[in-house]
Structure 1
């Protein structure tokens, strides 16, 4: 049983705790929040008494094997570094860090300390993404793909009213690409590999982060267009077009439904059942990596590619974070 701690007490931390417990491989051992009251409120749901408002103290606890990090994006790298150096395995919410330099540094620290580092990117591990991968040859030569994730942020109205929520604050390494554009980008890299070239554009808010934007990933003979937004709602599925047919993918972040339409033929449902909480798959992979002491793994290779692309894309858009300096 892997004894894990949680940094962050928002909804996604609850989702991971429930997913981890559902696997039967994890047991929540400690919770961190900036205030002990908030930590205890979160922990009480899981009958956990050990709470912290001091990260160093939690990192030094010998009864903790691993940590799940769900703090603001800008804190992912320094917090991961602290726990890796204490010999704890780390699964960090996406994005793994603010930029490519931080990702490289974290991987080096994990290797040096012989611990597992993994990005909590559910898209990478859901079965229906594998369904898409297996269906690609049936589409003939791939010619074009459009992956879209556009979701109106619940915090946008606060921003419009003059507040400064973390979601739209460059101090926390946020913005549309980092928060939700990373999902369709991950799907593209998983299915097609590293592109030959990348173009990026977007519209910036006065705060300095991107409100929405697009990426064009160029491959040999085809391109993938990625659309992302935190200020508008997208309703259309993502699509992969081949010379012999197309795949339609509902909700690219977890590939909720996959449909194949061969040219001149009928529509075919390819979807396999997935639990509502698709974070179970990433939790199982994390546990397997720990069990096998697999400190270098394919997920890290993919995280490097994605961070490299996002770092370059932000430069094209003019989005700069304090971590970049």
Structure 2
């Protein structure tokens, strides 16, 4: 069942109260207080609570994380996930779908940029400072925007748009080379690495569906009772909410 973003917290809480393990779609919650409460509930009850952020579970993402030291130190990261929404024309005419309703947790940040931010935090950890610059529509919703994440020796820009389109990509720039993901952040379908003047391309994801790897990971963690891994993923989910809010 598809749920609007604003009720992720409510339905997840009810499931945890009923003793159920939960997989919740992005964004995890809309407030830090909600995220921390759900995390605490899962830990207290020893239940499994997963956020479905598919690219973080792909072999391509793991290879990028392992390759950072080869091109580092990294000083700049650019992420762009922009696609003209099929509902945007309706929005301009006053027909507001949940994806463009601020009361229901819509907007470019929650719908698209959440992937960029998850990837940056998954690779580099928590930033020291953040700032969001949004282009807002007639009802105040962010139809596009840029989140800047600052680190001691690095800056990351996360761009997302539902009101316009462009090639989507991730580019990681280091002193010894660069890493380019020429696909939208939710796909992470291929990787190009430039190092010592040599460009190498990789496609290590094993399945056509971008969702397969994450569900295999969830299954493995549950079967092996690897609660520490679940807690690590849960901690990242809470960290991302803190950055986005």
Q: TM-score range by the shorter chain?
A: over 0.9
Q: Give the match for residue 97 of structure 2.
A: 165
Q: Which of 188, 197, 214 is equivalent to 2:146?
A: 214
1:139-182 Cα distance to aligned partner (Å, 9 max, x none): 13111110111111111111112211111001211110000000
Question: Structure 1 CA distance, aligned partners of 2:206 and 2:32?
Answer: 32
Question: Structure 2 CA distance, aligned partners of 1:88 and 1:193?
Answer: 29
Q: Give the match for residue 60 of structure 1.
A: none
Contact kept, 8 Å, 1:180 with 1:228, in 2: the verdict is yes
1:110-145 Cα distance to aligned partner (Å, 9 max, x none): 223221111011022111011111111111311111
Is the radius of gyration larger for structure 1 or structure 2? 1
Query: Relative contact order (alpha carbons < 8 A, sep ≥ 6): 1 or 2 greater?
Result: 2
Shift of 1:191: 0.7
Q: Give the match for residue 262 of structure 1.
A: 195
Aligned partner of residue 233 in structure 1, secondary structure: coil
Q: Which of 219, 231, 236 is equivalent to 1:287?
A: 219
Q: Which of 237, 242, 245 is equivalent to 1:308?
A: 242
TM-score of the superposed pair, with normalisation by structure 2: 0.94
Structure 1 gaps of 5+ residues are 1-6, 9-70, 312-325
Q: Which of 2, 9, 12 is equivalent to 1:80?
A: 12
Question: Structure 2 CA distance, aligned partners of 1:140 and 1:198?
Answer: 22
Question: Structure 1 CA distance, aligned partners of 2:45 and 2:205?
Answer: 38
Shift of 1:236: 4.8
RMSD between aligned residues: 1.5
* Residue 293 to residue 245, structure 1, CA distance change in 2 (3 Å): closer
Regions of 4+ moved over 4 Å = none
How do residues 71-220 of structure 1 correspond to structure 2 at under 5 angstroms?
Answer: 71-220=3-152
1:169-216 Cα distance to aligned partner (Å, 9 max, x none): 012111100000000111100111111111211111122210111111
Question: Structure 1 CA distance, aligned partners of 2:22 and 2:158?
Answer: 29
* Residue 205 to residue 165, structure 1, CA distance change in 2 (3 Å): same
1:45-89 Cα distance to aligned partner (Å, 9 max, x none): xxxxxxxxxxxxxxxxxxxxxxxxxx1101111001111111110
TM-score of the superposed pair, with normalisation by structure 1: 0.71
Shift of 1:96: 1.2
1:246-292 Cα distance to aligned partner (Å, 9 max, x none): 111122222111001125x1311133133221211221222233221
